[in-house]
Amino acid sequence: MTQTHVPVIAIHGGAGTISAATTSAEQAQAYHDALKSIVAAAQAMLLKGASALDAACLAVEMLEDCPLFNAGHGAVFTHDETHELDAAVMDGATLAAGAVAGVCHIRRPVRAARAVLEDGAHVLLAGAGAEVFARERGLEMVEPSFFSTEARRQQLYRVRGTGRVVTDHEGATMAATGSSPLDEDKKFGTVGAVALDMHGHLAAATSTGGMTNKRVGRIGDSPLIGAGTYADDRTAAVSCTGSGEMFIRVAAAYDVCARMAYGGATLEAATHAVVQQSLPAIGGSGGLIAVDRHGNLSLAFNSEGMYRGHARGNDAPQTAIFA
């Protein structure tokens, strides 16, 4: 088969509010370096002919393993000081999808989501049932404390006193200490990746620790196919980050693809309509990353910043935080 498509990878590490505290160049650089290395790893895979699904999953696994971001190690705490993680993956070539929600012992939730996709019997498994499934599949299990970091614990204590539920970049005064460019008390945690491979196939993957001080059992948009994650070779692959309840209500990821399929919208027009119109209309904040079947990219957000990176073909990875 002729390999005619130039591969594209894009990732996000959450969207949110610029830190009030001054961010040093070194602090911002830590985020740029992490984003760049993850983009480069997925880009190298794609250039060797790997599938979009493999590349998107690798990128999200690496984001899960990085404590700078709210997924896997470094995930935020629920109100009860526990962790509940969610993840989803979707293959644009087949519309096959897999997701897990409310898990606390699976080291890499995106691998569990991928296993659900490959198993094919179900799309979304939650809680204890998802963990039994992951164990049966031989996935690495950990104690919930594996996901904890002291910064996230302090974030919970600060937020719990306010009675609010906040997204991960909203929760931390890592901001007060100036340790991250986006105000950690006003940032939507969630990590994601979208990819177009050499064969013209699209895929999306998303993983999250949810929202600081969330009620136990709360599930956001990330593991819901069509809300926070969607991919269809005929249109685009989309991964979202933001106020999950609002992304669910507008079926954000699917709406991007639907506007393209039914209305003939370009990727840019479709993502703009969702991020700048549909979401703000109901108080939704955040952003998304998307790549279409032609390799066009959109990294759209209505918050002050979004950790993001991308690469096309052999081009050097590009990263950004603010608008």
pLDDT value of residue 154: 78
pLDDT value of residue 187: 64
Q: Which of 190, 206, 208, 235 is catalytic?
A: 190
Q: Is 235 a catalytic residue?
A: no
168 marked among binding-site residues: no
List all residues 6 or more positions away from 263 whose beta carbon is below 8 Å from its beta carbon.
270
pLDDT value of residue 2: 60
pLDDT value of residue 159: 72
217 marked among binding-site residues: no
Look at the block and give the residue holding tokens 């993956």. Answer: 89
pLDDT value of residue 125: 98
pLDDT value of residue 21: 52
Instruction: Tell me what the pLDDT averaged over the chain comes to.
Output: 89
Helix axes 127-136, 109-119, angle to 10 degrees: 80
> Mind listing the pLDDT tens digit for each residue in 9-42?
999 999 886 564 556 788 889 999 999 999 999 9
pLDDT value of residue 175: 43
pLDDT value of residue 249: 98
- What parts of the chain have a pLDDT lower than 70? 1-3, 17-23, 72, 74, 163-179, 182-187, 213
221 marked among binding-site residues: yes
Output the CATH code of domain 8-322: 3.60.20.30
B/e letters for 309-322, b = 16+ CB within 10 Å, e = fewer, are bbbbeeeebbbebe
